[in-house]
């Protein structure tokens, strides 16, 4: 499959693949070569309006809203099967579009199918209400109802996996969807539209409007008929979306940035800690919200651990994302690569030492930033406080448990955390003291889809995943049933 054979990308509205109404398109580039892959229809307010109209119709008048749950879930499982059948093409398109190594995008394609199967199971088995009996007077119970049109806004760092992580629960719970994918990674969102089209979902249930954040994204947020916005992206964008959605009191779920600590105590299994640390910062090319971008190593093992990191850095395979051997590919876009390089310059200015292997000059046409260590970092430096979102690890040392907890928490983010020690009590103590939505003990980021995913502080609002997603994607309604024997106040019947 050659890059130049990838077709231009249209919008998907009301069950049809269409051009943007104004006929605008934008260029989509290959981060490995910076050559044009294709052009993408650029949706704006008028296209969002059409997509939302279709989604409202499908929700209120179409079969989706009235369909039996069992039947709806058949569609959800069918989408999973079609994803599996196209997994090779999906991982190819994802790597071509984003620079993510194909070994990783293959896993992401499999995870995307799992997202749909998982939510089919969850809705069937766990979308349950509660019932409370009040003597012989009342039976009070709750039910879940879909909210309506869900606006889903997604980033470019693991596009297909993150889009399906929202689309699957939104559809499985009975909502209709308008997806606004990231402008730097449109290919697999288009593939998802083709897959859902092939699965035969009724028209208007799922719509994709490509375009830019300030136009298409902002129009989706501002549309009065969009009842909820699920957003994954930068913290600053999340804040902007909350402001813009406030006028309609829009329900929001925010999965935002991170600057997550990995804490390695001197009694840790150091070989495993080293593997996990390297994987946690350099997988997804370092463009990872849960990346362990701040390493705290206990002083007694600092020199040996850093030496091991240095040696391993030299051996990481940097190269063509489509090559099965590649471990780190090019960053998504020249602008983003420039931003990451700027942080490396800032690190030097702040007094850090930069450790980097040399980039093979044959790779110079791509947006490469080689795996980078920043040594002698202090926690107050910008490179320890701001999300770089690239393959850059800020390394710091610590002496005592209390000190490292304070350092780990001294940051505005609170998405993930990683603790390495063989002392069970300390492991739990430190994990519980770290202000992050998710903490892994003696492990890299591994996922259990039943568990809530999300962050504290400026890393997010709300949780997605497991049955927690039902709180966001459904309205809970309470029905109070009087059993006929409760007293009713009798106004106007007082004896004179």
Residues annotated catalytic, as ranges:
255
Tokens of 405: 């907890």
Single out the segment in contact with ligand LM24SWP5 by CB under 6 A; choices: 93-101, 379-387, 445-453, 487-495.
Answer: 445-453
Catalogue the E-assigned strands of 169-327: 176-180, 206-208, 226-232, 251-255, 261-264, 294-298
Q: Which of 127, 149, 158, 322 binds ligand LM24SWP5 (CB under 6 A)?
A: 158
Calculate the dihedral angle through the C-alpha atoms of 42, 48, 54, 55, rounding to the nearest 10 degrees.
110
For residue 179, which of 161, 194, 193, 191 has the smallest C-alpha distance?
A: 193
Q: What are the strands of the beta sheet with 138-146, ordered from one edge?
A: 131-134, 138-146, 474-482
Partner in contact with 213, chosen from ligand NAI, ligand LM24SWP5, none, beta carbon below 5 to 8 Å by kind: ligand NAI
Q: Which of 447, 450, 480, 486 binds ligand LM24SWP5 (CB under 6 A)?
A: 447
Position with the least CB separation from ligand NAI: 213
Q: Which of 445, 458, 459, 474 binds ligand LM24SWP5 (CB under 6 A)?
A: 445
- Number of alpha helices (DSSP H) and beta strands (DSSP E) in the chain: 16, 22
Contact between 113 and 168 under an 8 Å Cβ cutoff? The reply is: no
Is residue 157 at the binding interface for ligand LM24SWP5, with CB under 6 A as the rule?
yes
Partner in contact with 447, chosen from ligand LM24SWP5, ligand NAI, none, beta carbon below 5 to 8 Å by kind: ligand LM24SWP5
Single out the segment in contact with ligand LM24SWP5 by CB under 6 A; choices: 70-78, 91-99, 169-177, 283-291.
Answer: 283-291
Total binding residues for ligand LM24SWP5 by CB under 6 A? 9
Distance of alpha carbon 96 from alpha carbon 457, whole angstroms: 34
Chain Cα centroid distance, residue 188: 15
| Residue number, 289 or 383, with CB nearest to ligand NAI | 289
Tokens of 283: 């997988």
Residue numbers at the binding site for ligand NAI (CB under 6 A): 153-157, 162, 180, 182-183, 212-214, 217-218, 221, 232-234, 237, 240-241, 255-258, 289, 387, 389, 415, 455, 460
Exposure on the CB side of residue 215, measured as CA atoms within 13 A: 13
Contact between 257 and 235 under an 8 Å Cβ cutoff? The reply is: yes
Place of tokens 């288009």: 190
| Residue number, 53 or 287, with CB nearest to ligand LM24SWP5 | 287
Shortest Å distance, C-beta 377 to ligand LM24SWP5: 21
Q: Which of 164, 188, 290, 459 binds ligand LM24SWP5 (CB under 6 A)?
A: 290
Shortest Å distance, C-beta 168 to ligand NAI: 15
Distance of alpha carbon 297 from alpha carbon 267, whole angstroms: 11
Partner in contact with 168, chosen from ligand LM24SWP5, ligand NAI, none, beta carbon below 5 to 8 Å by kind: none
Binding site for ligand LM24SWP5 (CB under 6 A): 157-158, 165, 288-290, 445, 447, 453
């Amino acid at each position: 499959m050659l890059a130049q054979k990838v077709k231009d990308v249209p919008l998907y509205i009301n069950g049809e693949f269409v051009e943007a109404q104004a006929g605008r398109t934008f260029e989509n580039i290959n981060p490995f070569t910076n050559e044009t892959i294709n052009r993408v229809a650029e949706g704006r307010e008028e296209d969002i309006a059409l997509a939302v109209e279709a989604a409202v119709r499908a929700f209120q008048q179409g079969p989706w809203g009235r369909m039996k749950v069992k039947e709806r879930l058949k569609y959800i499982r069918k989408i999973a099967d079609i994803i599996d059948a196209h997994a090779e093409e999906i991982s190819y398109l994802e790597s071509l579009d984003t620079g993510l190594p194909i070994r990783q995008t293959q896993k992401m394609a499999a995870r995307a199918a799992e997202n749909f199967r998982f939510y089919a199971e969850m809705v069937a088995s766990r979308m349950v209400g509660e019932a409370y009996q009040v003597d012989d007077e009342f039976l009070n119970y709750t039910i879940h109802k879909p909210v309506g049109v869900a606006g889903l806004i997604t980033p470019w760092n693991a596009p297909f996996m993150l889009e399906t992580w929202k689309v699957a629960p939104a559809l499985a719970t009975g909502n209709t969807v308008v997806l606004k994918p990231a402008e730097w990674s449109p290919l697999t969102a288009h593939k998802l539209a083709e897959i859902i089209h092939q699965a035969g979902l009724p028209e208007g249930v799922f719509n994709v409007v490509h375009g830019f954040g300030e136009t298409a994204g902002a129009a989706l947020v501002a549309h009065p008929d969009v009842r909820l916005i699920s957003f994954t992206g930068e913290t600053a964008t999340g804040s902007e979306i909350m402001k813009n959605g406030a006028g309609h009191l829009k329900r929001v779920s925010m999965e935002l940035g991170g600057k997550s600590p990995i804490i390695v105590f001197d009694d840790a299994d150091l070989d495993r800690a080293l593997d996990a640390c390297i994987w946690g910062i350099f997988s997804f090319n370092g463009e990872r919200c849960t990346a362990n971008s701040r390493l705290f190593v206990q002083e007694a093992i600092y020199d040996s651990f850093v030496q091991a990191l240095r040696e391993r850095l030299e051996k990481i395979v940097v190269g063509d994302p489509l090559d099965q051997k590649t471990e780190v590919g090019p960053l998504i876009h020249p602008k983003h690569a420039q931003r990451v390089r700027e942080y490396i310059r800032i690190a030097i200015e702040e007094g850090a030492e930069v450790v980097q292997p040399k980039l093979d000059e044959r790779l110079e046409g791509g947006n490469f930033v080689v795996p980078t260590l920043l040594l002698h970092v202090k926690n107050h430096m910008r490179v320890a406080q701001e999300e770089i979102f690239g393959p850059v690890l800020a390394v710091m040392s610590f002496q005592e448990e209390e000190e490292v907890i304070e350092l780990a928490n001294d940051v505005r983010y609170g998405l993930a955390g990683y603790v390495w020690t063989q002392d069970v009590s300390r492991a739990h103590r430190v994990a519980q003291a770290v202000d992050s939505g998710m903490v892994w003990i003696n492990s890299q980021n591994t996922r259990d889809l039943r568990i809530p995913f999300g962050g504290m502080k400026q890393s997010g609002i709300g949780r997605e995943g497991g049955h927690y997603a039902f709180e966001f994607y459904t309205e809970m309604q309470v029905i109070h049933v009087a059993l006929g024997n409760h007293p009713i106040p009798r106004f106007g019947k007082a004896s004179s």
